[in-house]
Amino acid sequence: MDIAAQLLEILADTGSEPSRDPQLEALMLAVSADLPVLLWGEPGIGKTAALNQLAETLGLPLTTVIASVHEPSDFSGLPIIGADPAVQGVPMAPPDWAVRLVRAGHGLLFLDELSTAPPAVQAALLRLVLERRVGALRLPPGVRIVAAANPRGSAADGWELSAPLANRFVHLQWTYDHAVVVRGLGGTWPRAQLPRLDPQRLGPAVDFARRGVCGLLAARPALVHKLPSTEARRGGAWPSPRSWDMALRLVAFATAAGAARDVLSMLVRGTVGDGPGLELLAALDRMELPDPEDLLQDPAAVLPDRGDLRQAVLDGVVEAVRRRPERARWDAAWALLARAAETGPPDLVVVPATALAELRRDDWEPPAAIERLAGVVALSQLAGAAR
């Protein structure tokens, strides 16, 4: 056994290296925002390992509770009869793990195997997840809640999540990276660089999130509450006033942390669902676009790198000239299109260039920029005709 212990010690002696992990970044931001998170993934792909790494990084004690092996009373509280129940009533005593969390004042509560918990247990979890109450005990603000579940097809005696419970979580799809697994088994596991909030960006981040969410829902009122028609989809992310409030909070946190777009996408789609989440992302993209009037004043301003955003900006500039056609504005728009063709995909300027040419007045001489664009437009039209 001593030699076996030595071999196990050698196997456990692995290193780590800094590596970006969008999944862990999204989890970190949701936990920082004090929102319950539910990790969905097949068995054995590292959900528990991610929780251990997160708890270690945050310096929080990890308390694991297997939801499926508990009774509803373990979450709603056990009735304890006192000396005079007619006067004092019957208090609901909390379980030991809840008492330990209150004594510690902070911690990470991990509710594992949530999809194998029967409906009665899921109902008892509602108050714990939303109000942080276990019986007569209220968990302190320093406690964060993360759950994990396997899809019903791969869960032992799995159940679909009830709609009220599902709508209380941020749903993150947990997957594995083949290259990371191979390198880790070779002795080097990744060490994620977790996002940090910028104190200087807190106010602007909240304003940005509120304008984005409120602007979308004002234009698309049908998205405020949309309960899915099937039981399986009700057990995931879907839009409601509660989940939109969660999405707003996550947009603010992601913006304040300067999170990448893929992280923000995971968060909003995991809160209000894929369709509404993508609409929110598009609305946020439009908010970040430069003002067409500013570009007409300074055609040398920076244009977005992404093709769809650049196309939207150029179309907006042409529309601004259409609303107030003036020679100087028309010339500035041509200068902007010429620079766009030089610094990005030239085919993106074909449609706005054609529309801008139609706005020319008889007394407006063609600017020099048109000659720089003529070849691009002709080549693109020729390629389109050849398809």
On the CB side of 317, CA atoms within 13 Å amount to 30
**β-bridge pairing 92-93 and 78-79:** antiparallel
- Dihedral over Cα of 159, 173, 131, 229: its sign: negative
Sequence-distant (6+) residues with CB within 8 A of 70 are 117, 121
Query: What does the DSSP 8-state code read for residue 94?
Result: P
- Burial profile 292-313: b = 16 or more Cβ within 10 angstroms, e = fewer: beebbeebeeebbeeeebbbbb
> Hey, what's the torsion of the CAs at 32, 61, 155, 181, to 10 degrees?
80
Per DSSP, the three-state class of 342 is: helix
140, two tokens? 């302190």
What are the sequence ranges of the domains in the chain?
13-79+89-192, 203-287, 292-386
- Burial profile 143-166: b = 16 or more Cβ within 10 angstroms, e = fewer: bbbbbbbbeeeebeebbbbbbbbb
Shortest CA distance to 306 belongs to which of 277, 276, 348, 353? Answer: 348
CB 241 within 8 A of CB 247: no
pLDDT of residue 376: 57
pLDDT of residue 280: 94
Q: Distance between CA 61 and CA 382 in Å, rounded?
A: 65
Place of tokens 């708890």: 55
pLDDT of residue 143: 92
Q: How far is CA 270 from CA 35, 93, 226, 349, in A?
A: 12, 34, 15, 35
Mean pLDDT, the chain cut into blocks of 10 residues (387 residues total): 87 81 91 93 82 85 87 78 64 82 92 86 87 86 91 66 92 86 81 84 93 90 91 90 97 94 95 94 85 85 82 87 90 87 83 87 79 58 42
> What's the helix, strand, coil split of the chain in %, to 5?
60, 10, 30
Among the CATH numbers 3.40.50.300, 1.10.3720.10, 3.40.50.800, 3.30.43.10, which is that of 13-79+89-192? 3.40.50.300
79, two tokens? 């009735």
Q: Distance between CA 251 and CA 212 in Å, rounded?
A: 9
Query: Which amino acid appears at position 120 of this protein?
Result: A
57, two tokens? 């990084």
As beta bridge partners, residue 62 has: 108
- Dihedral over Cα of 80, 85, 90, 93: its sign: negative
Query: What does the DSSP 8-state code read for residue 186?
Result: T
Per DSSP, the three-state class of 187 is: coil
Q: Distance between CA 201 and CA 380 in Å, rounded?
A: 43
Q: Distance between CA 319 and CA 153 in Å, rounded?
A: 51
80, two tokens? 């304890």
Per DSSP, the three-state class of 254 is: helix
**β-bridge pairing 62-66 and 78-79:** unpaired
